[in-house]
Amino acid sequence: MKKFKIEIILMGVLAMMFASCSDFFEPNNDTTLNGDRYIKEGSELYSGFLGIITKIQAIGDKAIYLTDMRGELLEPTENTPADLYSIYNYDDDLSGNTYADPAKYYDVIIACNDYLQKAKEYRDTHVTTVDDDDYRGLISSTVRLKTWTYLMLAKIYGQAIWFDDPMQSMKDIVSRTPKNLSELVDECDKLLNTGFDGINGTYNMSWNEWLDPANGATSTNDEYKRWNMMVPGYFVLQAEIALWKGDYQKAATTILGEMSRTFALAEYQGNVANIKYMRSGSYGSNYGQQYDSEMPMLTATESVIMYDYKYNQQNSLLNHFDRSGSYMMRASVPGSKRFEDTTFNPSADATAIKTSDARFRAIQEIEKDVEYAIRKYRGFRKSGHTVAHDDTYIMIYHTSDLYFMAIEALNNMGRFEPASVLMNTGVDPFYGAGVVLGEQWQGLNCNWGLWTTLYAGFRRTYADNGVRGILGLGKRDMWQTPEDIKEEIIAEQRLEGLSDEDKIKKHNDIELVKEAFLEFPCEGKTYPLMIRVAKRWNDYSFIADFVGQKYESDLAKQAEVKAKIMGGAYFVPWDLQGKSSSH
């Protein structure tokens, strides 16, 4: 029996959240987390944590503006404000730039530290009334949010000031020495696995059980289940951290283990068109549904930042991207044309003059070869989101992230066959029923195929069809053996001087980056991936080449940007110890 009277807490917190319509879940509201004035009652353990989520909402779209505007796809329009233009131009001095200012990321960290301290103080004095499972879940969730926030700072800025003690504002920390990318990744790994108050990042808060106490963990309410996706899971954070650290075994074991475990769940057996974390069934034919729907798809989403304009929860993605809004950012012509380029994006039809890729629907052709807009967040259909509401959700991690992390890890372990299979056709057509695969396939068990439980004789209707196979695309050229190495590619991808094995790894890494351009437009993910691959091979030239293509109409600017990238200016420059922060 619950020690805590959840029904009473639920009534109080939901009244705060929904009856007032704005105050509790308002991203600009600072009343939820303010030092000594919260966690005086048990319900505030929960409402205090949800206050951190409002801080997360305030940063949900920042990575998209900061990395994609400097990346391979986006460019300004006639309406682009000066601060955003400075990001695009790779300006060296961004003092006072409202987009570049990292203060809102530090607001999240300050809120996490404060919550951890106050939650522990409350629990220590109310040991018999605080539910142990909920306490572990809330603390662990806060640890993961703090880990994710620092990981975002590391990927965007390449540096951050690490602190664990409660602060009130960014002004309290500017005198401290920032840590670099590698140091931050190590700290994130330590925090995730050490945690706070003896609780690491492996515990989950069952929000559906808390919100629906009558049905407990068996609640089938999809809205309640989405609450469980407010925080990235331990496995996905651990896998990404492992990739940054070069621990490919841990990354592969972690990500493949969770995917295989999920595929084996009873709810995904039989005639199930949508299997969580799997590119199978209707994933391809209904591609884009995850952007059209009012709520994120449970089977395609690992974690998500939710908004609802009715409660004053909004971001500004549609205002930035949509032509009916302020239209401040659009897709460049070179970035858009990659989708239909049969060399860059192979077609299943060898005679095709252009590739038909469902992912290209994320971009709207206004005038062929002249202007392309982003419609990804408005949705691909008329039933999508509106600029007036501007409350489209932002996925933190989803099915595609898991596949790409798995492929990256497998490739850099030298497990080239499964890396190629996951990139292309998927396990299903490759993995015959009952076939025993070699050591390279460790972690990809029978649950990826049609025969999910061979010993019980069970067969599912849909199974893994890979990144490209599920979309009916041609195979990407993922090398597996020295015989696959193409001489004309060696110079193009600067593979000279590498062993055959490293030639294969680097080539496949670059192919993964190219595929990411098509899979993750405007999600704030392609530039960090490019940086990770470039650091691995100490070669930033491919970043300069891909990014430089969108500056083709201004050769002087193109040369300047490429030179800056080659000189190390791939992170957003911000003087953490200056006085340019907004607070």
The residue among 391, 412, 446 that closes a domain is: 391
The CATH number of residue 221's host domain is 1.25.40
Interacting residues of 25 by C-beta distance below 8 A, sequence separation 6+ = 17, 50, 53, 54, 308, 311, 312, 313
Record the pTM.
0.92
Q: How confident is the model at residue 40 (pLDDT cuts 50, 70, 90)?
A: low
CB 280 within 8 A of CB 470: yes
For residue 455, tell me if it sits in a domain. yes
Provide the β-strand partners of residue 121: none
Which one-letter amino acid corresponds to residue 457?
G
Angle at 235 between CA 229 and CA 239, to 5 degrees: 125
48 & 130 share domain: yes
Residue 282 shares a structural domain with residue 173: no
For 169-195, write each residue's pLDDT tens digit: 667 777 889 999 999 999 999 999 999
Q: Are residues 215 and 264 in the same domain?
A: no
The mean-pLDDT minimum among 226-240, 263-277, 285-299, 558-572 falls in 285-299
Do the domain assignments include residue 107? Answer: yes
135 with 218, same domain: the answer is yes
Residue 262 inside a domain? The answer is: yes
- Asked whether residue 350 is domain-assigned, the answer is yes
Among candidate residues 332, 364, 391, the one where a domain is terminated: 391
- Same domain for 497 and 453, yes or no, is yes
* 338, 467, 502 from 344: Cα distances, Å: 6, 15, 22
Q: Quick check: is 22 in a domain?
A: no
Contact 547, 67 (CB under 8 A): no
CB 423 within 8 A of CB 467: yes
Backbone angles phi, psi at 533, to 5 degrees: -65, -40
Query: In this predicted model, what pLDDT tens digit does every residue of 371-407 receive, in sequence order?
Result: 999 999 987 665 568 888 889 999 999 999 999 999 9
Residues 374 and 421 in one domain: no
214 and 90 belong to one structural domain: yes
Q: 316 is in which domain, residue-wise?
A: 309-391
3-state secondary structure of 199: strand
Nearest-angstrom CA–CA distance, 209 and 579: 45
**Would residue 18 count as lying in a domain?**
no
Considering the domain architecture, whether residues 257 and 322 belong to the same structural domain is answered as no
Nearest C-alpha neighbor of 48 from the set 117, 148, 104? 117
297 and 259 co-located in one domain: yes
Same domain for 459 and 509?
Answer: yes
Calculate mean pLDDT across residues 566-574: 97
How far apart, in whole angstroms, are the C-alpha atoms of residue 332 and residue 416? 33
Task: Say if residues 517 and 337 touch (Cβ distance below 8 Å).
Answer: no
Contact 116, 197 (CB under 8 A): yes
C-alpha angle with apex 434: 429 to 437, nearest 5 degrees?
75
- For tokens 């004095």, the residue is 125
- Flag the least confident range among 11-15, 249-253, 365-369: 11-15
pLDDT at 380: 67
Structure tokens at 426: 């998927």
Q: Is residue 24 part of a domain?
A: no
Give me the pLDDT at residue 452, please: 54
Give pLDDT tens digits for 439-454: 778 888 778 877 655 4
**What pLDDT shows up at residue 101?**
96
Kindly report which listed range (131-135, 253-257, 309-313, 382-386) carries the lowest average pLDDT score.
Answer: 382-386
User: Which residues does 499 contact at the CB level (< 8 Å), separation at least 6?
Assistant: none
Q: Which residues of 442-465 are buried (b: 16+ CB within 10 A; e: fewer)?
A: bbbbbbbbbbbeeeeeeebebbbb
Same domain, 72 and 170: yes
Three-state helix/strand/coil letters over 306-351: CCCHHHCCCCCHHHHHCCCCCCCEEECHHHHHCCCCCCCCCCCCCC
The tally of domains found in the chain comes to 3
Indicate whether 19 belongs to any domain: no
Closest CA to 52 of 136, 113, 140, 7: 113
Last residue of a domain, one of 391, 408, 434: 391
pLDDT at residue 16 above 60?
no
Same domain for 96 and 54, yes or no, is yes
Do 268 and 292 contact (CB within 8 A), yes or no? no
